[in-house]
Amino acid sequence: MIFQRKIIINMRDISRKISPNYKTIEGQIQDEFEIEKSVFITNIKYVENEEDAIAFIEKIKDNYKDANHNCSAYIINEKPEIKRYSDDGEPQGSAGLPMLSVLEKEELFNLVAVVTRYFGGKKLGKGGLVRAYTKGVSDCLDGKITYRKVFIESKITFDYNLLGIIENFLNEENYIIIEKNFLQNVSIDLYIEESNFENFKKRLIDMTSSNIEIEKLDKIMLYDK
């Protein structure tokens, strides 16, 4: 389990989502390939909302304003779920919809994909275009998919005589230790998946006969590959 960075959560944003934990990518990725002298450039970006997705599409269109097509698709993790796509002048159903289908198949959220095409002089046909735009998104995503999960940042404080059993418990469960402090008492800061926090709390209370202080400090988002 690899955690890349910490993101403080806006709880209002979380309440609007279908699920607080979901598959996506981190940042922005790009890929490029050529078919029958047509050049396809894929740009995919993580976005927080539909406004960000639209802004990214416009930015890519501006960056590649000399291109023949800038086809797009996005899915936003909100209630209700937002899905949009555009063929941007390609035959209907040959570009944006296949791109969206890749995002749906991978069960991805909060992503916007734009595939730019520079026409090479040879028509690919609708089937060829579907394959090309599918490839554009699929290849770009290969190896880049990650998970965003909600974690509780917690601090536990206890007497030294409990250190052994608590460390064994934390190591067995593979919790993410942030910091340990050995002062008058032992304190450990750590991350626990939100869905597991109540079980974590109950087990610590049971094993220490309630001789432990458990604080909930914050809710955060972590990338998990």
DSSP code string of 190-224: EEEEGGGHHHHHHHHHHHTTT--EEEEEEEEEEEE
Report the length, in residues, of the chain: 225
Go through the domains of the chain in sequence order and give each one's CATH number.
Answer: 26-144 (3.30.230.30), 149-224 (3.30.70.240)
Q: Could you give the CA distance from residue 194 to residue 98 in angstroms, rounded to a whole number? A: 35
pLDDT in tens, 174-190: 789 999 999 999 999 99
pLDDT in tens, 98-134: 999 999 999 999 999 999 999 999 999 999 999 999 9
3-state secondary structure of 62: helix
Residue whose token pair is 């220490």: 208
Nearby residues of 204 by Cβ (< 8 Å), 6 or more positions away: 156, 166, 169, 212, 214
pLDDT recorded at residue 223: 76
Contact 221, 150 (CB under 8 A): yes
| Mean pLDDT, the chain, integer | 91
Residue 51: DSSP 8-state: H
**What is the model's pTM?**
0.76
Report the candidate in 144, 162, 55 with the shortest Cα–Cα distance to residue 102: 144
Q: ∠142-146-149 over CA atoms, to 5°?
A: 165
